Every structure is written in structure tokens, then in C-alpha cells.
A and B are shown apart, each in its own frame.
Chain A
Amino acid sequence: MTLEAPPTIAASNARASIALRVLPPGLYAGRGYVVLERAFRVYRRSWMVIFSGFFEPLFYLFALGTGLHKLVGTVLGPGGHPISYTAFIAPALLASSAMNGAVYDSTMNVFFKMKYAKLYDAMLATSLGPLDVALGEIGWALFRGGLYAAGFMIVMLVMGLMASAWAVLMLPAALLIACAFGAVGMAVTSYMKSFQDLDLVQVAILPMFLFSGTFYSLSVYPAWLRVVVECLPLHHGIAMLRGLNSGVLDGAMIAHVAYFLVMAAVGLVVTARRLDRLLLR
């Protein structure tokens, strides 16, 4: 039997060397993409599961856009410009679906794979490290979120809901939102003990979806409540996409992006450390 491993290890070690300087040894082998590759193989057969997630925001858009639009008509969008109610909620629904997709993947799916399928135990028995696993799984959540976002944006384009050329940037922005929620979702999941704990995720997600200014402007809230909502991540996602769709870019954009970058980084580091604690003990 010949051993193919040494040259590949050398190559991956070289790639990983930069990362190893900032991370504890053994946390990262520079091969998170193989975890992503696994996900592609799994979902190649069950693409219907993926497809279904595409419809959720569309149903909201049609139900509220056509139904409520008749009652509401035009509202004031970013920068105080009047826009149709459908165009007002469309970017918010995009942000929400990016969140929902990433959270679903990184909580339900990850919990099952961690506790029942023992998938990560199998991965960590190989030369992969916990950060490879975390990056690969979050990468998958990201790809899936990107698919949904692209599909939804095509619908927006067809329906004439895109108000500016900046709207194209909603795609990377939606990916950033998905990335941050995926990373934090996986970190939170690593603390969960049973399927009942997962219900708590919905308790956090559903109110955030309803009250983060998805369907109306935050100006309806009293000042204190507005401050609370402005601290929530989905609010930043909605404000970011709504601004991009209308082409109203201000300093707040940088704050939104920074918010999600920090959120993603914290989630990723906590996830890698928790996987290390949970599975490598």
C-alpha cells in the first residue's frame, strides 16, 4: 500500500500556515472546501428541498405586495422618496429570507448532524480541524442563501421593484447577512442540548422578522423601542438592502456592513472553539 498523504499534507500545511499563526494548532487544515463539497453531493439529489425555500419570500411578496399594496399604496422610502409599498417590503423580505435560510441550516441541520448523525465526529477523526468544519458548513449556508437571494432578485427585476442600479449589490449584501446569521446560528446550536432548545430559535427569529421594520418604517415606534430594534441584526439587514434598492447610500451603510462582519467573525470563532470543546474532549 502506498501512502498518498504526505505531499497533500505538506501542501495543505503550507496553505494553513498563515492561519495557524493566529489559531491554536490543529484547529484548521485549510480544507473547509471539502466539507462544502460534501454538502453539494448531498443536495444534488434533494434539490427540491432547496427549491422550496425559494418560494417562502415570494409568497409573502405576492400576498402582502398585491393585497396590502391596494390599501397602502405609496410610502416614504429611504431618503424620503415615495415608493410603492411592494417595492418597500421587497428588500426587507430578501433580508429576512437570507436570515431564515441561514438560521434554518445552521440550527436544525447542524444540530442533527452534530448530535445524531455524528457527522462532525467522523470529519474530525480525519485530518480536518474544527475550523474547516465550521467554514465548510457556513459556506454551504451561504451558498444556499445566495441562491435564494438571486432567485428573489430576478422576481423583483421582473416585477419592476428595483429602484436603482445599486440594487445589484443586494446580492453580496444578502450573502453577508446569511454569513453572519449562519455563523452565529451555528455557535448558538453548539450550546443546545435537545430538539426542544431549537424552539427557542424560532422565538427569537419570528418576532425579529415581524418587528424589525419589515412591513413598516420604525418611526411608528416610541423612541426607546426604536433604539432596541435598531440594535437587532435583522434591522441592519433590512436597512442595508432597502437603501441599496433605492440607491440611497449614506454613512449608515458602513455601520451595517461592519455590524455583520463583526457578527460573522464572532460566530465563526465561537463555533470553531465550541466544536473543539464538544467533540475533541
Chain B
Amino acid sequence: MKLNRKTVISLLLKALILVFLIVIINTRLSETVVEGTFEKGLVFALLALGIFISFRILDIPDLSVDGTFTLGVAVSVMNAFNGNPIQGILLAILAGGLAGCVTGVLITKFNVQPILAGIITMTALYSINLKIMDRPNISLYRKDTLFTIMEKYFGAHYKLITCGIVVLIAGALMFTFLKTQAGMSLRATGDNEYMVRASSINSDRMKIIGFAIANALVSFSGAMYAQYSSAGDTNSGTGMLVVGLASIIIGEIFFTRHTILNGILAAVFGAIAYRFILAFAMNLGMDSNYTKLFSAIIVVIAISIPAIKNYFTTFYKRVFKKGNGGAVDA
């Protein structure tokens, strides 16, 4: 990397944010909170990975996420409630993939606009989720979950270790997949559809596969979250799209180069960083009712940074640079 002023400034800025985060973690948050935040961050890293596939790789906004997250919660919590926590997670992944296929088919075969297709799936899933759970919320109190099973093997930090292993496996699988022929076809579909069809790739099928993987991951995240918190709620998916998007955008501040590895790292790292920012805000006394508002604001700020930078530089040029007209000359 060449060391010009711009890269130095951006590096310094990143270092500053990192130091700031670490200082907060060390001084403000207790050890249990830090561990809990890490765990939650890892659970939601799966969500961010799913959204990374639809938003970044396919470059299509997929709004079914709010529904498929709850679908994961519902399937996972019902199976765990009946004593099959691991089967619940596996079925949740499958169900999420199926729901993703529906969105994909709506977009490619029925020419429904992507945003509308997502909303349709999400709305339909609302009823389906209610039907699966049969009541608005379920507690897994005193029931076996993936985590209580893993406690025997991993000891004191079992939750953190379980989440870590799951995310590591999911990330590694995703990385490997995106480097295969099928994975490269998927990436190319989001990158240049003309080229893809001219290269004898069925772009419709690639999109459906992409949505299936994306929503399987989101549902996986929901399934993990339900067993992690030992409870399931039919409203738990609300706002998950924005949460996932916020995670990715935060991660991309640190992993700027557009490679697959960077994208995956950005999603995972961003999901964890997002939880820490949230934990800090709560620590400062933010009402927990504001979490969704908070994530919405983070997304707006993160997306508008380039525009704000632009206003700032033009302002700077106008005021401080001679010869460009403006205040100094006047």
C-alpha cells in the first residue's frame, strides 16, 4: 500500500476508533457484559453473512430477512421445546433456504420487483411463523438447547466457544464456496449479468441459489439466537435487515478492499462491533426501546459518510483555498 496522506489519515482514523472501542470495553463494561456482547455479536454475524450475500454479492436488496430470521427462531424454538435442539437448528437452516427460494423465484420467474418480492415473502412468513409457534412467544426454560449440550464439552466459556466455532465453520464454508465454479458464477451474476448469460450461466438459477443461501444463513442466525436466549418471539425478526446492514457497513470501514475474504471478515467483525456500540450506548443509559432507532441512525450515518465528506471538502476548498473564489477573496 502506498503511504500518501489520505491512507495515513484513514489508517489513523481506524486506529483511533479501535482504541476508542477497546478503551470503552475495558473501562465501562464488566467482563460478563463483554463476553455476552461477543457471543451476541457472533450469533448476529451469521445474519450479517446472509445479508452480505444478497446485498453485496447479488447486489439485490432482500427484504424477506425480517421474516426468515423469525422463521429460524420459530422452527428452532419449537424443536428445542420438544427436545430436539440440534434438529431444530438444521431444520431452521433448511426452512430459511426454502423461503429464500420463494423470494428468488418471485423475482426471476414472475418478474416481481426485488423489494416487493421480499416484502411479500416477509408478510407471508408472518402467518407461517405464528402457525409454527402457535402462540406469540415461548420460553425454553429448563429445556435442552445447543448451548446446554455444549456446556459439557467446553466448560465455563461454552457459549462463546460454541458461537465462535459455528461462525468459523459458516465463514470458512462460505469462503470456500465462493471460490468454486458455482460460487464464482454467483458472484459474477451480481457483478455483470450480461456477461454471465453470455458465458452460458443460468443467471436466474444463480439468483435463486443466492437467495436460498442468504436466507438459510439468516434463519440459522435466528435459530441460534432463540436457543442462545432460551426464548422465541414472533416479533424477534423486526428490523433485522437494518441491523445486518449496519453491521456490514461498520465492518467495511475496517475492511475496505473488495475481496471475498474482506467481505466475510467485514460482516463478522462489523456484527461484533455493532453489538459493542449498542452495549456502550446502553451503558450510557440509553433506553433499550431505542435499539432499533439506534441501528437505523447508524445505517444512515454510515451510508452518508461519503456525501458528508464531500460537503466538507468542498466547504474546505471554498473557504481556505485561494483562487477558487469564496470567502477569502471576497
Do A and B originate from a single complex?
no
The chain A residues found within 8 Å of chain B, CB to CB, are none
